[in-house]
Amino acid sequence: MAILIIFLLGVGNFALHRAVMDSDHPLLGRMPWFVHLLGGRFTMVVEFLLLFAALMFAEQGNATGPIAYVVYSVLNSFSAWLILTDRV
């Protein structure tokens, strides 16, 4: 069950990440050079590595990774909401 929840959170995180990257928010222009490396795909790779690590922790039966990924997803959703609604 933890693997399914993490996977669904990962899909949501990828969708939010793409929406933020496509938003052309002025804040994105102030990010360091490595954020724009490979057309923004570098940050998608980091997103994937976080998801993969959380899935591996869940597969091993360790609860620390999935809990950390849920916290990350909540913070990621909040920051995406702030950016997409122009509150920042």
* pLDDT attached to residue 41: 83
The tally of domains found in the chain comes to 1
Give residue-wise pLDDT tens across range 18-28: 999 899 888 88
pTM: 0.87
* pLDDT attached to residue 81: 97
Nearest to 51 by CA among 6, 81, 18, 20: 6
Band of the pLDDT at 64, cuts 50, 70, 90? very high
Task: Give the structural domain span for 19.
Answer: 2-84
Specify burial of residue 6 (Cβ count, 10 A radius: 0-12, 13-18, 19+): buried
* pLDDT attached to residue 47: 94
Look at the block and give the residue holding tokens 């998608």.
44
Q: Residue 29 and residue 74: Cα distance in Å, rounded?
A: 24
Q: Please state, in angstroms and as integers, the Cα–Cα distance from residue 10 to each residue in 20, 27, 62, following that order.
A: 15, 23, 18
